Amino acid sequence: MIDVKQALAKIKAKIPKPSMQVVPLKDALGSVLALDVRAPLALPVFDNSAMDGFVLRSKDLLKASQRNKIRLKIVGDICAGDTKERKIKSGEAYRIMTGALIPAGGDTILIKENALVDAGYLVLDAPVQANQHIRRKGEELKRGERVLRKGTLIHPGTMGFMATLGLNRVKVFARPRVSVIATGSELVVPGKALKRGQIYESNSWMVRAALQDMNITPVEVKTVKDNLKTLRQTLKHVLQKSDVVILMGGVSVGEYDYVKTVLEELKVRKIFWRVKQKPGKPVYFGKLKQTLIFGLPGNPASVFTCFYKYVYPALRCMSGFPVAELENQAVTAEQDIGSDAKRTLLLKGKVYTVSGQRRVSALRHQGSHMLSSLCETNAFVVLPPKSRSIRRGDKVQVDLLPFGRTD
Ligand code: AMP
Ligand code: MG
């Protein structure tokens, strides 16, 4: 049996190179840029007013004072979006709105709040400095400048930035096509009544949500009974259209655990089965052509743990993220935590911040069949086999999950 580190290394070695795709900007949220982006235009696009007020020629006001008030004729309004070419002559001013083009000759803005208007004239009793409240063309960036690097995540800020550059299509790494199959004859979809011996199917909900959280819409989500024929048919079907297949349940040593049998029949190459860890020991990983196949033990806490520990980094890597694994940190333990002689413990934990110090507490209900603690989990407490038992106040390693604030 291999350990957690070896399992991660084996997965990493089998991940196919991400492919590229051009997508409409609106569909690019959560994707990663596959190419550097250069600015197709300068920003700001043109000299424009940063305030509502009046645009002037500062030269006209050099001699303005309390005793020598200067009157400028207000010759019109310039609104945001006005395209007309204008020129200010000596002795004139325009009323101007935020975002409107600066007319030729205008070199400064007097903000509306500071302006005295009298019978169509602006009255000034002091000079106005040049270059006030004007956003200059290209002051943020020049046309042709590299503004985003390959490997950048497209998040709401990036989205707005690319839109302001006028980009409506972007080259990103393709999102992996993922299928999810839950196995188990005892499973019932939430909303239906349970019969004797049945439970609600929760794993596919959890994994579908985890994928959605990564902006991946699974191509198939299915629940199948523990039946060789249906499992074979379903797998055959999804293998053809998936880059990653996530199977849940049926991968252990039970008489009706058919997953490994069917994968073997379909010529999936087993890379590993079973990892020295708790929970999730019977986790399986294989590959068929370019498709990765994960078999996660069906207990919900095992699915959760194995998903974030193994599937999540694989999907991040395939999506083109430069960093794929969960962020690891040493934080202060809130209680004593015992380790295990043989296996890495991956305990559900909650990391939080007290007076600037990050602490973690291992949550109650660690049983791999228990889900209530998942509502609070935002980290795994990682205890390698035979590691020194942790005392309250000691530092302990945690893997931070991609969701759940720690403050
Ligand atoms: P298995 O790995 O198939 O032996 O399943 C282990 C345990 O997890 C059993 O108690 C199953 O009933 C439970 N289980 C398996 N799959 C699911 C699922 N999709 N939703 C909820 N519980 C499950
Ligand atoms: Mg089962």
Per-residue pLDDT, 306: 98
* Ligand 1 in reach of 179 Cβ (< 6 A): no
Answer with the residue of higher pLDDT: 368 or 62: 62
> What is the pLDDT averaged over residues 91-99?
98
Give, for ligand 1, the residue of 181, 198, 199 to mutate: max count of ligand atoms closer than 8 Å to Cβ: 199
* Ligand 1 in reach of 222 Cβ (< 6 A): no
- Relative to the CA of 204, which ligand 1 atom is closest? 19
String of DSSP letters for 118-179:
ETTEEEESS---TT-SEEPTTSSB-TT-EEE-TT-B--HHHHHHHHHTT--EEEEEPPPPEE
* Total-model pTM: 0.91
**How sure is the predictor about 407, in pLDDT bands with cuts at 50, 70 and 90?**
confident
Per-residue pLDDT, 405: 84
Per-residue pLDDT, 373: 93
**How sure is the predictor about 406, in pLDDT bands with cuts at 50, 70 and 90?**
confident
The encoded tokens of residue 387 equal 């590691």
- Relative to the CA of 251, which ligand 1 atom is closest? 2
Ligand 2 centroid – CA 130 distance (Å): 76
> What is the pLDDT averaged over residues 334-343?
95
Give, for ligand 1, the residue of 181, 183, 203, 302 to mutate: max count of ligand atoms closer than 8 Å to Cβ: 203
* Ligand 1 in reach of 249 Cβ (< 6 A): yes
CA 201/CA 250 separation, integer angstroms: 14
11-54 per-position pLDDT tens digit: 999 999 999 999 999 999 999 999 999 999 999 999 999 999 99
Give, as one character, the DSSP assignment of residue 30: T
Average pLDDT of the chain? Answer: 97
The encoded tokens of residue 26 equal 């609106």
Report the run of H or E that residue 222 belongs to, with start and end.
Answer: strand 220-224
**How sure is the predictor about 374, in pLDDT bands with cuts at 50, 70 and 90?**
very high
Ligand 1 centroid – CA 396 distance (Å): 30
Antiparallel, parallel or unpaired: β 48-49 and 108-111: unpaired
* Ligand 1 in reach of 368 Cβ (< 6 A): no
* Ligand 1 in reach of 248 Cβ (< 6 A): yes
Per-residue pLDDT, 296: 98
Give, as one character, the DSSP assignment of residue 91: T
Per-residue pLDDT, 34: 98
* Ligand 1 in reach of 279 Cβ (< 6 A): no
98-130 per-position pLDDT tens digit: 999 999 999 999 999 999 999 999 999 999 999
CA 375/CA 403 separation, integer angstroms: 11
* Ligand 1 in reach of 218 Cβ (< 6 A): no
> What is the pLDDT averaged over residues 71-80?
98
Ligand 1 centroid – CA 16 distance (Å): 30
* Ligand 1 in reach of 72 Cβ (< 6 A): no
- Relative to the CA of 201, which ligand 1 atom is closest? 20
CB atoms within 10 A of CB 233: 13
